[in-house]
A and B are shown apart, each in its own frame.
Chain A
Amino acid sequence: QKEVEQDPGPLSVPEGAIVSLNCTYSNSAFQYFMWYRQYSRKGPELLMYTYSSGNKEDGRFTAQVDKSSKYISLFIRDSQPSDSATYLCAPHMNAGNMLTFGGGTRLMVKP
């Protein structure tokens, strides 16, 4: 079993749709949960992160962590074509640790 797993997609949705991106992990010691967005031919950029369980909202984006089931979600409301990218989840134990990335989910939002 991989330490961090994501459905590779691609996930294709119409503009304005609500998108749900998911990630599972195996290491119960993970405490920080980051989501990175990677546009084609660019490096990943941090989208948002949460600490421990619960929800965090930032504009159209909501990150949700369920540590009991080792399940992480990223929701995008009112999706836009500019949201078309690969979304990488990266849980880790503490701020000093290296990140372990999932394989990423490719999202395509069609106008």
Chain B
Amino acid sequence: EAGVAQSPRYKIIEKRQSVAFWCNPISGHATLYWYQQILGQGPKLLIQFQNNGVVDDSQLPKDRFSAERLKGVDSTLKIQPAKLEDSAVYLCASRGGAGELFFGEGSRLTVL
């Protein structure tokens, strides 16, 4: 069974530029999450999707972050404009039947 796929693995941009991350969850998983993990900290939830609908985006900085999952399968997370404090690993996860989360390897963003 293929795992959660994410791209790109690494991205370096300058502040005020934009960036987009892509995630393809495990086939059949209806629930998809985006987490932000700053170095030395645990993952922090940004947004949760159930199929193509948003379940929880209360911690998403909506002035600069946006996410979509138009067809209920893959998802895109965008940051525009980026700030220095957005430097982090962006993890995508999908949920299995027992509630366990399966994570991708993450997209590491460096904002200069």
Contact = CB atoms under 8 A, between A and B. Distances in A.
Interface of A: 4, 6, 8, 32, 34, 36, 41-46, 49, 88, 92, 94-96, 98-104
Given A42-B105, A43-B91, A98 B43 contact: no
B45 A98 contact: yes
B100 A34 contact: yes
Q: For chain B, give the interface size range.
A: 20 to 34
Contacts, number: 53
Nearest first, the 6 closest Cβ-Cβ pairs linking A and B are A95-B99, A43-B103, A101-B42, A103-B42, A46-B100, A101-B43
B101 interface: yes
B43 A49 contact: no
Q: Is the interface of A mostly helix, strand, loop or mixed?
A: loop
A45 B4 CA distance: 11
A96 B42 contact: no
Contact of A94 (B44, B56, B99, B108): B99
Contacts of B93: 43
B25 to A, nearest CB: 12
